[in-house]
Structure 1
Amino acid sequence: MQQSSFVLAICCCVSLTGCQSISKTTSNVTKKALSMVGLGDKEMKTPDIDKQGVVDISKTTLEQIEKLTQNMPTGQWVYIENDLQGIYTLQNKASDGHMLFLRLNCKNPAQRPGFIIQNKESQDVLKSYDPQAGSIQLLLDNKNYGNPFDLVNLKHYPNFKTAIKKAKTIKIFNASKLYTFQNAQADLLDKQVTCKE
């Protein structure tokens, strides 16, 4: 009985060492394969956001984009360009992990401006055009603009668009929840973005 336990323990040890070796070999082969197609360690790093708050993700992997999102600076706008797919977004990460995607200047004038708030898991929690959401209020430095993206309040949109460039904080209130975003790098608000919902 003791002998079979001892043999089983040795087998487990051998198999773990074998798995570890296979894992290391697979990792080395993957790195070599990536370097052969021009995606070595150097290219696998997260894309950098420049001093103006702009980052180009045209030649990045999904894993790199996920790392970028996790390491996104908080309290400022970041303009993300993807020339290959023709997608341009403007986003702002709050200290609690919520992300505000703002669309003030649409590349396609036929599309409507608006916003989306996502949680830490990248799930949409609030959209500017959600009839199920109830009343949405956008506050710039605590001045209430209602929902300037709503067709009923569209006349307030030009004033909101001018005021947001000078505001220090953006607050969005809906269903007893308050989302707060700092407005650093506000000059990026003039950039054109993709406005598809």
Structure 2
Amino acid sequence: MNVKLPILILSTVIACTGCQTAKKVSSGVSKTTEKVKSLVGLGEAKIPEIDKKGVVDVSKATLEKLEQMKINMPTGQWVYIENDLQGFYTLQNKSTDGNILYLRLNCKITTQKTSFSIEDKDGKELLKAHDPEAGQVQFLIDNKNYGNPFDLVNAKKMPTFKTALSKAKSIKVFNNAKLYTFANGKAELLEKPVTCN
């Protein structure tokens, strides 16, 4: 009988048992690592989801996920974005052509001015309130002209404008021969307080 054969079999069994143990330990470590990453926010972040009311919390979202959310944002309705960690709240409406209307009607800090801005799909600002170089701006709520209620001269028109907005189906903004059109879905969100500049 060859003595080397049982020693070879025994060493192979020990080696394989060691392999299994090492495999179990490393697999347990990687699962634990993933749990820790997700707890401290280093794991795979999800795109923030907009709830049925049109509200989304972006407090823990990465910049990349915010960009993805912006691309996939529904059109024709208001979306209220809240970031409790940074104390930042915004209200935006994306048109079918990708332009985004930001309205700041109810400021969290009441001493700040109401305003609006419009950006194109790449985030370039096209128009904003209180811009002396913008020229004449007209808001058409269901095709009724309200002028520019954000202009300080027309500040008294703001309550009437807000009331019309709460019931409107469409919002159009006309400036320098350009017409920006937005559907007014989830208009109840216009009541929510936002961060104003």
* TM-score, normalised with respect to structure 1: 0.80
Name the residue aligned to 1:69.
70
Name the residue aligned to 2:20.
none
Distance in 2 of aligned mates of 1:76 and 1:35: 32
Name the residue aligned to 1:138.
139
The reply to whether residue 151 of structure 1 matches residue 130 of structure 2 is: no
Shift of 1:45: 1.7
Q: Structure 1 pair 148/34, CA: closer, same or farther in 2 (3 Å)?
A: same
Distance in 1 of aligned mates of 2:170 and 2:190: 14
Q: Structure 1 pair 38/152, CA: closer, same or farther in 2 (3 Å)?
A: closer
Name the residue aligned to 2:42.
39
* TM-score, normalised with respect to structure 2: 0.80
Name the residue aligned to 1:125.
126
Structure 1 residues 135-183: Cα deviation after superposition (integer angstroms, max 9, x where no partner): 0000000000000010111121110011100000000000000000000
Shift of 1:94: 0.2
SS at match of 2:158: helix
Distance in 2 of aligned mates of 1:47 and 1:156: 36
1:61-100 equivalent positions in 2, closer than 5 A: 61-100=62-101
> Which aligned runs of 4 or more in structure 1 are off by greater than 6 angstroms?
none
Distance in 1 of aligned mates of 2:76 and 2:134: 25
Q: Structure 1 pair 34/130, CA: closer, same or farther in 2 (3 Å)?
A: same
Matching residue's letter, 2:189: L
Contact 2:149–2:161 (CA<8 Å) still a contact in 1? Answer: yes
Matching residue's letter, 2:132: P
Name the residue aligned to 1:191.
192
Matching residue's letter, 1:166: K
Contact 2:173–2:180 (CA<8 Å) still a contact in 1? Answer: yes
Identity within the alignment, %? 62
- Number of aligned residue pairs: give it: 165
Distance in 2 of aligned mates of 1:133 and 1:176: 12
Distance in 2 of aligned mates of 1:38 and 1:53: 25
Name the residue aligned to 2:3.
none
Q: Which runs of 5+ in 1 are unaligned?
A: 1-30
Q: Which has the larger radius of gyration?
A: 2
Distance in 1 of aligned mates of 2:69 and 2:133: 32
SS at match of 2:81: strand
Q: CA RMSD in A?
A: 1.7
Shift of 1:37: 4.0
Name the residue aligned to 1:180.
181
Shift of 1:40: 2.3
SS at match of 1:154: helix
Shift of 1:35: 4.8
Distance in 2 of aligned mates of 1:149 and 1:34: 46
1:25-36 equivalent positions in 2, closer than 5 A: 34-35=37-38
